[in-house]
Amino acid sequence: MSLNGINFEWKPKRLDFDTKIKPFESEDTDLNNFLKNDAKNYLKQRLAVTYLIENDVETIAYFCLSNDIVLRLFSDKEGWKKIKKSIPNAKLRSIYPAIKIGRLAVATDYAGNGFGKLILQIVREMYSSETQPSGCRFVTVDAYQNAVHFYQKHKFEFLTSDDENEKTRLMYYDLQAIQ
Ligand SMILES: CC(C)(COP(=O)(O)OP(=O)(O)OC[C@H]1O[C@@H](n2cnc3c(N)ncnc32)[C@H](O)[C@@H]1OP(=O)(O)O)[C@@H](O)C(=O)NCCC(=O)NCCS
């Protein structure tokens, strides 16, 4: 597969205990260290599954997925109004199933070539209503402030404005939007 002339393995590789992790350098040291030192521990503790996008020699990007919930308690009035609008009355709840993108990083050398966008597409496809292994309505992310615009561009919304000045902002995407 090729994106902007960059070749890579099309199918994201699910990290396993014996996976040899290829070098990875993004602009975020925490995200680099997580992949190197902690991703397998998260797998072992069943806290997150990591997926790798690679070429022959290096890791181009990675992301982690964990089960999550969208909870009325975590939203403000405006945020919940938007959620309610998209759900039929008979199915209104104060809690909905979700999948969380725990971490998402593109290597500095490959940034701006569409890999972030591709990962969001991959997650949407993994949880499309034809293939999802359990009910899942939303994709959530605790977005770094510098990535908020990236997620907004891809139709993620805020659940609350209470976290406006926090290091990360809770955002969600409604998977029903792709029906
Ligand atoms: C944020 C990040 C994931 C984006 O990935 P990327 O591969 O560089 O982004 P893409 O090339 O797929 O960009 C897709 C679109 O989003 C836009 N975009 C990318 N980063 C953006 C940003 N920070 N703000 C606004 N728009 C952004 C691009 O212009 C592009 O728009 P287009 O489709 O109209 O051309 C990547 O820059 C990264 O890993 N950053 C460091 C780690 C990080 O902040 N991760 C997020 C953790 S929550």
pLDDT at res. 179: 60
pLDDT at res. 85: 92
What is the percent of the chain where pLDDT is above 90? 87
CB of 157 within 6 A of ligand 1: the answer is no
CB of 124 within 6 A of ligand 1: the answer is no
Higher pLDDT pick, 7 / 148: 148
Instruction: Select 2-178's CATH number: 3.30.450.20, 3.40.50.300, 3.60.21.10, 3.40.630.30.
Output: 3.40.630.30
pLDDT at res. 72: 94
Q: What is the mean pLDDT of residues 148-154?
A: 97
Q: What is the mean pLDDT of residues 129-137?
A: 91
CB of 170 within 6 A of ligand 1: the answer is no
Is the model's pTM score more than 0.85?
yes
Q: What is the mean pLDDT of residues 6-16?
A: 91
CB of 36 within 6 A of ligand 1: the answer is no
Q: What is the mean pLDDT of residues 114-141?
A: 94
DSSP track, the chain: -EETTEE--SSPEEP-TT--PPP---S-HHHHHIIIIIHHHHHHTTS-EEEEEE-SSSEEEEEEEEEEEEEGGGS-HHHHHHHHHTS-GGG--SEEEEEEEEEEEE-GGGTTSSHHHHHHHHHHHHTSTTT-SS---EEEEEEEGGGHHHHHHTT-EES-STTTTSSEEEEEEEGGGG-
CB of 113 within 6 A of ligand 1: the answer is yes
Q: Whose CA is nearest to atom 44 of ligand 1?
A: 147
pLDDT at res. 96: 97
Q: Whose CA is nearest to atom 5 of ligand 1?
A: 116
pLDDT in tens, 60-111: 999 999 999 999 999 999 999 999 999 998 899 999 999 999 999 999 999 9
pLDDT at res. 144: 95
Q: What is the mean pLDDT of residues 127-152?
A: 95
Task: Tell how far the Cα of 112 is from the centroid of ligand 1, in angstroms.
Answer: 6
Q: Report the DSSP beta bridge partners of residue 98.
A: 68, 138
Q: Whose CA is nearest to atom 16 of ligand 1?
A: 150
Q: What is the mean pLDDT of the chain?
A: 95
Domain boundaries, the chain: 2-178
Task: Tell how far the Cα of 102 is from the centroid of ligand 1, in angstroms.
Answer: 16
pLDDT at res. 129: 86
CB of 111 within 6 A of ligand 1: the answer is yes
The yes-or-no verdict on residue 122 having pLDDT over 90 is yes
The yes-or-no verdict on residue 177 having pLDDT over 90 is no
